[in-house]
Structure 1
Amino acid sequence: MLNVSKFGLTGLFILRQMYILVAALTTEEPPADTNGPVFTEDVPSTVVFANTKGASIDCTAHGLPPPKLNWIRKDGTVVKDIPKVLQVLPNNTLYFLPFEPNLFQPDAHSQEYRCIAKNKGGKIISRPLRITAVVVDRYKIYNVQLNDVWVISNGTAILKCLINPRFVNEYIKVTKWTQDSKPITDHDRVSAMNNGELHVRNVQDSDASLVYRCVTRNILTQDTKTSPAASIHVHDPPVIWKTPNIETTDTGLIIQVGKTAELPCVATGNPLPNYKWTKGSKTIVSDKKKFEQKGGNLVIHNLTVTDSGVYKCGVFNKKGSTSVSIQLTVTSPLSATLYPADQIVDAGRVATFNCSVQGSPINEITWYHNGEPLTNSSRKHIIVDNRLQLPAVNRNDQGMYQCIVGNDVDMSQATGELRLGAAHPAFLETFDTVLVQPGSNVTFKCAVSGNPPPTIRWTLDDELIYSSDITTIKTYATEQADVVSTLHITNIQVQTGGEYRCIGSNVVGKVTHMARANVYGVPYVRVLQNITATANQPLIMKCYVSGYPIGSITWFKASQALPIDHRQKVVNGTLTVEDVQSAYDDGDYTCTAANSKGEGMSRNVLVRILVEIYKYDSMRLVNYDVSEDIP
């Protein structure tokens, strides 16, 4: 049952007694260790499929407990099945069904998706997946055109494989060129460019008798088409002199590391122009190994990341000069690693994640916490390049962290987990003072975070409360290891009103919250325990009073209301006496509580003062308690 007796407090003596008497309530066992989710492999960044074939995209992740998987759209809405269009299979595969053209839905078939994995350890998000469904019928019919070209003898002819209508270009690729029905391979005089052009250098009269064709493939249907034949017409240079004019239009190339790049630069003019390539202030010299010049084109073999940059093709003859710049971007597959991948940090300490990236180029690094993007606008974290720092870790910082790195053609992500180490208890929920009639039922609730998970105990007027016929205590731990406790009081009376405290504690520290249960009725003073104090030390006595309303709380000594001198002070029912002396402060004290009508009650407490004296013992002074001589 509820013990409503008042235990007196004074100095360390009383604190020591409280530690002896208090027994903490135990909570449920904390949840088992968890491992946050980690993707088994990255989802692709782009998927293009024909409406006649459909597509499926897998997303798998591991963790403890096994994570729950979902797909979301760009706006954050969860993907649901769409009849005849889209299904999310039981294994979380995103399956796009083959569909008729009239069932094309832009919100499904031209959309950005992301995969979400979540468990108790936190949440992670995949890199964006761009889905493009193409209605094949719109791209089946197209024409391939190849026109004759006229070029000065010894000049460079540019044959262009033209696709009409132009909107189908994205899905039509030039796969090969033929010369008199024989496949053409690159050599000193001929280059098949990535943009669908064929460059024939140093043309001669004999080239005029040859017939050229380009062959294309529809990547949606795999159908091929061959262009009509075209020829190169060779003519003599004009009589007048002409300044150089650059015919090629490419200003940027993106090529993978290890491949060969051919930077186009073809110009007309009279006389035929000369070419000079530079990168920055450095002139590029053909060595046939790394760099090779074919006509005006610059060929760079065995590309490395350092080959990226702006290349300038200068063209000049006796009449004048011109130039064009081409941006070469050499890419290597991106891969990211987050370290430390798993760290435990005490509350208030600094946590740092470093995102180590391999590959090139690195255009952006985006940080995520539990699937939400982080920016430097928040004071809670600092992002500098590839480093994320959390200056003072708290419970809201635990969970999963990701860095997602990307460029125009590639993207990769890495995952790390932050677990909270030792954390001081903190209240998540508390209760307010209540005013009730006798016989009412009252419930107080508090929730406390901390690590290790804190224990919670309840007190009334600093006296520990246990479950009984009139008090019920229920305490449990949440999935986040927070501890929630409720105290239910049945049929509350004036004697069971007063100061209720919820105390949450662990090895790091404790927190206390107090609110009153004010019960209508005549003021009631809780029993005061006799106190033994030490001379020359302060004495603190609190008078615990319940009932409502309370008009006054007064302390008396020898029927005289206190305070009577500068050493005494009474605040909110607590009497403080500084520098207690046996001659003046020893004896009976009375606490009286009353309402405005004078109704109330009093309690007495006996205060005994221990006097310390020094007794001479041959060679030394000994601290001596006079009470030792009292029989």
Structure 2
Amino acid sequence: MYGESVEIPCNNGQVTEETVTFVKWKYENGNILVKHTGQNASISNDDNYKTRVSIKKDFGLIIKQVTLADQKIFNCMVVGTDDILEFPVQLVIYKIPSQPKITNQTTSMAIGKLTSLAQCLTEGASPAANITWFKNKTPLTADGTAIKIINEVTVNDKTGLSSTTSVLQYTAVKGDIDAQFSCQVQHIRSANMDSSPLVFTVNYPTEWVNIQIQSDGGVKEGDNVTIRCLANGNPPPSRFSFYIKGEKQIVENTNTYTLTNVTRGNTGEYRCSLVDNEKLGISGKVFKKQGESFETVLNIEASGKTTTSCKKGNDKLPSVPKFDKLEYTDSGVYECEVTRLNIKKTQTFDLTVQGPPVIKSLSKKRGDGVNKILSCYVKGFPKPSVQWSANDTNLEPGESKYVNGEVTYYITITPKVNLTVSCMASNELGVDSKSIDVSSLVDDVTMDKQDQKQNSRDQTTLAVGIVVGLVLATLAIGLAYWLYLKKFRQGSWKTGEKEDGSAEESKKLEENQSQKADV
């Protein structure tokens, strides 16, 4: 450990005075000391060690107050009567980092806006410490868009010790109200160290406005009636517009308007809104992962039936947006409008669908002459970048237009030998790669001829098969016809017909026919 004393053994302490003439400790660029048998050690004038080293009886080297300058290989050279041996020892110095310190802390963050929340600092470590950010005791992972974590390690020129800083940039959502953020320092030689929890004010725009009447029981003539305009949002709105039977009245630093000594003439419709946003809406970015589900939630509070219409850009939608499985084509600006009589409120959000790159296909085809064109079709958001490589040779890609999270990169090559070409796509969320084998022109021509020959053989085999099939079919028909004739002739046999056979067989046949005739 940094600053402590260390004992470096010579051959694991198995060297004795009876077996050696002397022992010498050294390192790559200098000598430290020499110890002859029966004599005191002779220490060199090395400024790094002349006041900090000593040697034990078993020839182990002791160094006091070690620093990172002592992190090196020390060599114990043992000289005996018959041989000289050396025993190198690697010395590694550890230094536990300081407790995490929070600096540059902000006080609030706005929904949908990337905000630098705080910086976490730890100092004096060897090796450098790691820093992890947490929200409600769950580690945060940078996605390059909604969450960014910037880490930096610096080394002190004098001590060689490392300091680590980590800046958290975060895009808040409404659920981050009262969330606790913290950073944790992690080091190989110490337990994890946590900072104190940080709680930030979450600012978000007003999403709904409601109107109430403060009255004890029913309203009757002569009463004073207070109308209250309620709204969410942080910080809460302080200016309201009250519409008193169609006339606009603006109030400051209050959310109430009072009617005194009301009469029947005060009967009518009353409403209120924000001064700075007559058409109430929500703004900001919504980040979702490709494949997730998402449903638009509208907080509608009204005294009667309302009508809702939504659109994406300039295109009208049949219903309130709801997605079972988000795709990149679902990204865009959505606006929903709720209407009650002549009162309208809108909710607007910018949906961004994100996802790591996925290479859907890697293909090749012939180009002009001896060239070959390779195409790498990739999906992902943010836009993936691509690196081509062919046998460790990087190639500059061309690309198609990036639309709806899809892009095709391509290269044109002239292979003189067989190649394995790789396409590696990456963005802030991940990496994907595929490889394809590309043969030289000679191989391609050979393969083409082989394919042609194979096709020719296949066609010949097919023709022969058809002919053989026809011949067999003809023989089968002929055989069936012969059997039919034979059967017919056996059934109508008559005496006196000439048939092949012996004379004795014919005589017996005639005798049988005569007997039948007599009967």
With the length of structure 1 as denominator, give the TM-score of the two structures: 0.27
Higher helix share: 2
With the length of structure 2 as denominator, give the TM-score of the two structures: 0.32
Between structure 1 and structure 2, the one with the greater Rg is 2
